[in-house]
Chains A and B, each alone.
Chain A
Amino acid sequence: MGFDTAAGTVDALSPVTFALDAGSFVSVIGPSGCGKSTLFNVIAGLQRPTAGSVVIDGEDATATIGRVGYMLQKDLLLPWRSVLDNVVLGMEINGVSRQRARAAALPYLERYGLGGFENRYPRELSGGMRQRAALLRTLLLDADIILLDEPFGALDAQTRGHMQEWLLEIWTDFGKTVVFVTHDVEEAVYLSDEILVLSARPGRLLDRLAVPLSRPRPRSIVNAAEFIAIKQRCFSHLGHATEDVAA
C-alpha cells in the first residue's frame, strides 16, 4: 500500500512524494505553516490537489472521501449527542443503523477507557477523554489509514503521556497505518517507526528518518543515546541549535 502525493497549490505545499508501508506509524513534523494540514486534507480527500494524486492500495483515491480516518486538532464531538452516539457517527454515516452501531461500539468504549461514560455528554468529559472519544470515532470508521492532526496538542504534559501510551496500545491492537502530525519532536520519536520532516512553506520533504528503536518502548527510552541522536537530527532540520536539545 502506498501514497503518492504531490500537491502544488501556489505556496502551501511543494511537490511531495512518498510511499508508506501498511501498518506503520509515521509522524510528520515541520515548522508552523509548512502545509501539514494541506497534506492531510489532500490525503483525506477533502481538498483536490492542483497536481498529483493519492494512491491507496494501488487505487486512485484523489478527492474521494470516507477512505481515510481523519482526526482533526479539535475533538469536534457533537454536543447534542452522547459519547456513544458521537463514537458511532462514522458507522451511522456509512449506513449502519444506530442500534447496531451502538452495540458494535460499546465493547470498544469499555476496552479503551470510556466504560461507564457512554451515556454522558461531551461537556461532562475531561480533555483526555474527549480525545479518546474522538479517536475511537475515527477508528470505528474502519479505514486502514488514520490521520491524526496534533491530537494531543491541547492536553497537559501528564495526560499527554498517558494518551501516547494509550494510542500505541490501540495502534498495536488495530494494526492500522497511522500518520501523525505533531510539533513535539520527542513525541514524534517516541511514537513513530518513521519521521517525515517538512520544510517551511511551501513545504518540501526534507528528510525521512527511520526510528529503529524496538517496541514496546519504555518511557526511559527518551534518555537513550540513539533516541537523543534522532531527536537532534530532527531539531537540526527544524533549524534549532543543538544546545536547545541538551537543555
Chain B
Amino acid sequence: MKYVFIAVAAAVVIAIRVSVFRIRRRRRAAGEHGREMDTERSAATRTRSRRRDLADSVHNLNRLGDVGTIAMREITERVRGRIFRVGTLVILVAVAAAIVIPALDKSSSKLTPQTVGVVGSLSPLARHVVRGVGSADQDSVTFVSEPSLQAAKADLLSGRVDFVIVDGVEILLDQPVTSSSSSIDTTLVENAATYLGVLEAYRTAGLTPAQIVHVVGAKPVAVHSLRPGSKSVARTTSVIGIVLLFVMLTQYCTWILIGVMQEKSSRVVEVLLATVRPIQLLGGKVLGIGLVALGQAVLVVAFALVVAKAVGSDLLHGTSTLVLLCELLWLVLGYAFYCWMYAAAGSMAERQDQVQTLALPLSIPILFGYIYSITALSSGHADLFFKVLAYVPFTAPFCMSVLVGLSQVAWWQFVASVVITIVGTAVMATVAAQIYRRAVLQTGARVHLRYLFGGKAAH
C-alpha cells in the first residue's frame, strides 16, 4: 500500500513539473516584452561583471574544446531556468517527506501510554517485569493503585485504566483483547500475562527472590545473521530511488529531445553546424544536460542522507546507502543509454506537437521497467523474467537497482549488467549520431527512414 502511495506521489510530481513547463511556455508566447526590457537593462551592469567571472571560469572547461563550450552553455541556460529550480525544490520536498513521515510515525508510536491498575500487592519485581514488557513493546506503563476490586472495575469501565492486575496473579480487562473496539495493546496484555505466570511459577517452584531476580534478568543470547542489513529498509530506499530514477530519466531525456527539436526549429543548428561537427554539438548537449542531471541527483541523495541523519531514519543503516549509490550509478548509465535515442527523435521533429508522438515509443520501455520494478519491490520477490530484464539495457537501470535493493544479486552479475549496458550505449550512440547528422539539417519535408540509415534523400 505504501509503495502504491509513493508511485502516485511520483505521478503528481511529474504532473506538476509538466504544468510548470506549460505555464512558462504560454507566458513566453504571450510575450512580456516591456517588463523584461526594463528589468534587464537595470541588471545589465551587474550581469556584465558576473559574466566576465563566468567567462574566465568557463575557460578552464574549454580544455574540452567545443564540446565543453556547448556543454557549458547547456548547464548555464538550464540551471538558470525556473523549471529546473522549481523542479529541484519539488523533488527535495518530496524526498524529505518520504523520509520524515515514516520516522515521525515510528517515534510517535514509542509513546503509547498504558495505565495499569493494581489491586492488592504487586511485587517490585513484577512491576519491573511488566514495565520491561511494555518498553519492549514501545509502551510506557504507569501503575495506579486501586483501593478495591470494585473501584478497579469502575475505573476499567470508565477507561481511566487500560487493564488491572489483581494480586499479581490475575489480569482484568474491559473487553476481550480480540475485540476490535478495545484500545489496549494486545501484545502488552498477552506478554504481561505470560511473564506474571512465569514469575508465579518460579515462586511456587521454590526459587528465592534473589534467584528469581537472577533468572528474570537473564540476557538473551546473541543473534547473528549471515547477510547484513535490514531488507525492508533497503526496500523502502529502493522504492524512493526507483521513483527518482524514473522521474529524472524521463525529465532529462525529454530535455534532450526538446532541446534538439528547438535548435532545429529555430534553425540555430545551421549556424552552429557551420563551425562545429554534428557529433560535437550532440555530445556537448548530452554532456551538459547529463551533468545537470547528475548534479541534481547528487544533491538529492546528499540531501536525503542529511535529512535521514537529522531525523534518525533507518535510511543510514545497513545496505540502504549502497542501494542509493547503485541507483545513482544506474541513473548515469540509464541516461547515457536513452539520451541518444531521444536526441535522434528530437532531430526528426520540428514542432512542439511532434514531440509527444516521438517521445511515446521511447518512454514505453522506461515506463514498463518502472512499473515492473515497483511491483517486484512491493511483493519483495523478483521472478526469472525480471532477472533476465536486469541484463537488457532498456530495463537494466530499473531491474538491476531493484535486485540490489532486494539483495538478490552477486557482484559479478551487477558488473555484467553494467558492461552490457555500456556496450548497448555505444551501439545506441552510433546509430543515433548517424540519424541526428542526417535529420537535423533536413527541414520542411518529412524525414524518411531510408534516408536516415544511409539511403539517398527521396523527396
Q: Do A and B bind each other?
A: no
B residues with a Cβ closer than 8 A to A are none
